[in-house]
Structure 1
């Protein structure tokens, strides 16, 4: 194991009273592993981000309607809700727009969906809200929105904002459905991990001896790749593939418990390329098998996904079992051990904890902020 030298600064979060979650130090040894593309660079940039990064949140909009804070921190929109809450709990928020590196547009399509708003009306609401901000404040026009960002999870928000072209084109989009073939721009936009929290069971890991099943997937056939996956493999004796969700009538948390005893969890794209099954797999210690084309994986420019996941093209589904069986036990153990190391990056907390999902998203935003202040 590599160790630090005196010339390598430690990342120690600036301690702030009442912000216990961010006081946590991290073991330096964790950074000298190959789960990161550039561990030393990540350390240095992260430290600079903690010390300098400031974000201004527009105060406009009635919090009781579609602005400021989503409805809840559970379900498939949890990542959006946690970000809205975390940004207010963190050191990164500033009340002074002149100190801000980026500007957060706090409109929640999650809330709109919860109130039954149509996609057409969502687009109108987003457009009117943005027009109001542009008219009231000088900040958008300085960069045409290049230093602005908004956060939305699931395809609801993506569809609602697609009707506002200059927002999609100019601002940074932090989205849960980062597909290259629907306008996602990797160097500008950020992939938000879709996390179904709270997790039903504790995190798995360091338990390879219990993982006797080769592969597992169960879910709705709501995409072409899922239909093919179920058709080809549902009767296989070594792959545990179900073409429907596991009924709760079969027992308590049967679905989640399957993750604990499986080596590889298949993660095919659904109605969008993303799937909460990926973060479920990471949490439960089951090596995710990504089966989606055009998917910009969360934190892909920071984490080396090849070290803790199996990345396949959708066309590989026909050779799925052969591919998984060709992975040696030693390779699987390495993937599994690395998976445990990245679990903290895919966990949301309140208040936020250093290196958790919130901080990773903030770091992605930091990488995209403009060096020149306007």
Structure 2
């Protein structure tokens, strides 16, 4: 009897010890998780520039393995006018994504000359509808096209379906009204080959003016010693904490600013819906948006606050994300071309069936 009681007592003690160890382990894990959660607000290496950091890499591999695109034959040979368009089209033609079998394609590319008239483009789409079975299956929703200027709103049925349903890839920034958020995509600009090297930040803000339309706000900033205004890029870009861009004048240097560790600050009074890779990157964590109407004082107030509170984190995320803004003659993993392809891959199941009679009464 004594031995049985001793054995039972030992089992009880072991159980209590096990529970105590388990409780202690849970406490340590909870404390560590709480600590890391708090520190992640301040340490850039504990954060990610991606909207879905846990899914982008496995999805990217699936895209590389399975994504297929069929390219229609254009009416006649042509060339694109901008470097970004040309690099994208050339990369697409020679990429493993291209297939000669339309039945295995996820998406269909519609190539046409940038100077093609709207009437000729409408005829081209009508020909695809009449001679190929693929357009009518989704009214063009599994098709995409490349146009820097974009397609406006037209009354012709073929152009309406192209505009409303097909994915438009245009150049950033887009013309007002020629871009449909959450459907269309923008190409990042090709970087300046003479882009300066990164150095230690000294100026609060850097502004590059290219001789185009003048900005009243930029003119006011030119008198502030904390801001540097230049007409040509120099090594001063990398010595600035923020790079200012007037959205109504020129914002094409955002990618270069990210790679140099210069946090972009966009001056605008309207929402920005056409930044490159809106489906991939956490732009709100890498770009500062300042309203123009509030003037220079507001610009300095926002930049000063951002610099004190989260500048290092934004800068770190921007440098990591900048690899997606690199164009190469031979495409490389996660460069501009492949990231645009990833955005297209995300849209491969998006099908829009449209009631035609509502448009063309």
Classify the TM-score, shorter chain. Answer: 0.7 to 0.9
- How far does residue 261 in structure 1 lie from its aligned partner after superposition? 1.7
**CA distance, structure 2, for counterparts of residue 360 and residue 32 of structure 1:** 23
Deviation at 1:265, TM superposition (A): 0.6
> Which among 291, 297, 304 is matched to residue 313 of structure 1?
291
Conservation of the 8 A alpha-carbon contact between 2:205 and 2:228: yes
Structure 1 residues 41-90: Cα deviation after superposition (integer angstroms, max 9, x where no partner): 11122121111110001023211xx3xx425xxxxx22211110111221
Secondary structure of 1:256 counterpart: coil
1:175 equivalent in structure 2:
170
- The answer as to whether partners of 1:267 and 1:291 remain within 8 angstroms in 2 is yes
Moved more, 39-48 or 352-361: 39-48
**1:235 maps to what in 2?**
223
Partner secondary structure for residue 40 of structure 1: coil
Residue-by-residue CA offset, 1:258-284 (whole Å, 9 max, x unaligned): 31221111111136xx72121232233
Aligned ranges 1:31-110 → 2 under 5 Å: 33-63=47-77, 66=78, 69-70=79-80, 77-109=82-114
Match of 1:200 among 190, 194, 202: 194
Q: 1:276 is paired with a residue of what secondary structure?
A: coil
Query: In structure 1, how many angstroms separate the alpha carbons of the residues matched to 2:163 and 2:45?
Result: 34
TM-score by length of 1: 0.72
**Gaps (5+ residues) in structure 1?**
1-29, 72-76, 113-120, 247-253
Q: When the two structures are superposed, what TM-score results if normalisation uses the length of structure 2? A: 0.75
Among 272, 277, 295, the residue aligned to 1:295: 272
Contact 2:152 2:163 in 1 (8 A): no
Is the Cα contact below 8 Å between 1:259 and 1:285 reproduced in 2?
no
Assess if the C-alpha contact under 8 Å between 1:211 and 1:262 holds in 2: yes
SS where residue 259 of structure 2 aligns? helix
Q: Deviations over 1:209-248 (max 9, x none)?
A: x21111111325766xx62322432222212246xxx2xx
Flag the 1:127–1:256 CA change in 2: closer, same or farther, 3 A.
Answer: farther
Contact 2:243-2:265 within 8 A present in 1 as well: yes
Structure-to-structure mapping, 1:336-355, within 5 angstroms = 336-355=315-334
Picking from 123, 130, 145, the partner of 1:150 is 145
Change (3 A) 1:60 1:151: closer
1:279 partnered with 2:255: yes
Contact 2:69 2:106 (C-alpha < 8 Å) held by counterparts: yes
User: Who is 1:332 aligned against?
Assistant: 311
Change (3 A) 1:260 1:40: same
Cα distance change on mapping 1:288 and 1:371 into 2, 3 Å: closer
Counterpart for residue 166 of structure 1: 161
Give the aligned length: 304
- Contact 1:89/1:352, CA 8 A, preserved across alignment: no
Aligned partner (choices 338, 344, 360) of residue 359 of structure 1: 338
Q: Say if 2:153 and 2:160, in contact at 8 Å, map to a contact too.
A: no
Q: Partner of 1:5 in structure 2? A: none
Residue by residue over 1:164-204, the C-alpha shift from the partner in whole angstroms, topping out at 9 and shown as x without a partner, is 332111211112246696152222212322x1345213663
Q: 1:128 to 1:290 in 2, by over 3 A?
A: same
**How does 1:249-264 map onto structure 2 within 5 Å?**
254-264=232-242
The residue number in structure 1 matching 2:205 is 215
CA offset digits 1:306-360 (Å, max 9, x no partner): 3322233343544111211223357322222222111110111121101111111
Whether the aligned pair in 2 keeps the contact of 1:213 and 1:240 (CA below 8 Å) is: yes
The alpha-carbon deviation at position 103 of structure 1 amounts to 0.3
Instruction: Select the structure of larger CA radius of gyration.
Output: 2
* Structure 1 CA distance for aligned equivalents of residues 155 and 87 of structure 2: 23
CA–CA distance in structure 1, aligned partners of residues 119 and 212 of structure 2: 29
The DSSP-based 3-state class of the residue aligned with 1:257 is coil
Query: Using the alignment, how far apart are the partners of 1:230 and 1:325 within structure 2?
Result: 17
1:144-180 Cα shifts (integer Å, max 9, x gaps): 1000001122x3x445989833211121111224669
